[in-house]
Amino acid sequence: MNDAYKAPTSGLFGKILFITLASFVGTEFLTGATPVFPSAWLSPAFLIVIVLYGSGVLLIREATVIWKKGWLTILSFGVAYAIIEEGIFAKTWFAALPITYGKWLGVNWSFGIAETIVEALFSIALPIALSRVAFSGSETERWLSNKSLATTGLTYLFVVGLGFVSSIHEYTQITLQLPLALFMITALIYIGCRIGSPLAQIPSRGALASPKMLALLYFGFTLVTFLLAPLWMTPAPPHPLPPSLAGFLAIIVLILMFSFLHKTSFSNRQLFAIVSGIASVMFLVSIFGPQNRVGAPFGVIMYLGLLAIAWRGMRH
């Protein structure tokens, strides 16, 4: 366990608000899942979803701080979070969606993998990275006391339960699909706990020490991942690759991205460049993809504002 909890010296509310907004805006507004229109903000579901993202990213952030875990654990926990959200809360992994590509045994495997990649990146990993950039030294700082951590966990479970009993989407074979979701979640949490702490990180060297090169590298990694497992799936196949091969390759690329993060130490400027490279791919999707019909480009503006806050924190 980590050292006894000590309250942050200042700005706890701002830190929690920042990481919550980074998680919500990056996943809901950038992808078009929630329209960027004031009318959508008046729905009770809007607040519920914000609490879902905020409590989820805080739990994973605190767990990795307490257990001194690294980026591969954040990825594993992030994927587990994504399956909780899309397999239990919203049930899109198993709903009767008009997508035939990658559907097998009643499971939307290809669409589910695409959703999971986006959720793991933009709901969990990038908000944690941006919070480290914005609040220097916070990567080893606990934000929640044990009591607050327990309250956050119970709040998260309550919100997930609300989604589970709602009728947003429905399981097509609940006796098979719910146990499958729970198995995947349990396995991913176990893997995340078993991954060793990054005790011997090495600094990036040569060309990979350049923030511009890191931004370009992670832009390319993310672009390949999104092309293999595109979130904008329609009833038509998104590409000629077989679903199993495309999904496998997308997962491998994602693991490679986080393996490099896990074993390498980065300055805040380098980490900011990596986040910017990943986010830039979603910016293109938001502006030029079908998501622009529901105001996703305004989500880009909001996310750029969060990047500016992180940049300002890094500079000062």
Per-residue pLDDT reduced to its tens digit, 290-309: 766 656 778 899 999 999 99
The token duo for 142 is 């606990």
Domain count, the chain: 1
Q: How far is CA 234 from the centre of its chain?
A: 23
Mean pLDDT value across residues 46-69: 95
* CB-based contacts of 66, cutoff 8 Å, min separation 6: 1, 2, 142
Compute the mean pLDDT over every residue in the chain, rounded to the nearest whole number: 90
- 144 is a domain residue: yes
The token duo for 45 is 């579901």
- 161 is a domain residue: yes
Q: How far is CA 258 from the centre of its chain?
A: 13
The token duo for 105 is 């045994």
The token duo for 273 is 């460049």
The pLDDT tens digits for 139-189 are 999 999 999 999 999 999 999 999 999 877 889 999 999 999 999 999 999
Helix (H, G, I), strand (E, B) or coil at 34: coil
Which pairs with CB-CB distance under 8 Å and at least 24 residues apart come from 191-200?
191/76, 192/69, 192/72, 192/73, 192/74, 192/75, 192/76, 192/77, 192/80, 193/67, 193/73, 195/69, 195/70, 195/72, 195/73, 195/76, 197/67, 197/68, 197/69, 197/70, 198/70, 198/71, 198/262, 198/263
- 158 is a domain residue: yes
- 7 is a domain residue: no
The token duo for 206 is 């040569």
Query: Per-residue confidence at 209, pLDDT binned at 50, 70, 90?
Result: confident
The parent domain of residue 87 ranges over 12-315
Give the Cα separation of 242 and 261 in Å (integer).
29
Please tell me the number of Cα atoms within 13 Å of 101 on its side-chain side.
Answer: 23
Give the Cα separation of 150 and 283 in Å (integer).
35
Give the Cα separation of 123 and 288 in Å (integer).
22
- Supply the pLDDT for residue 50: 94
Helix (H, G, I), strand (E, B) or coil at 103: strand
- 250 is a domain residue: yes
Q: Are strands 103-104 and 107-108 parallel, antiparallel or unpaired?
A: antiparallel
- 1 is a domain residue: no
- 238 is a domain residue: yes
Give the Cα separation of 162 and 48 in Å (integer).
9
The pLDDT tens digits for 229-268 are 987 777 788 889 999 999 999 999 999 999 999 999 999 9
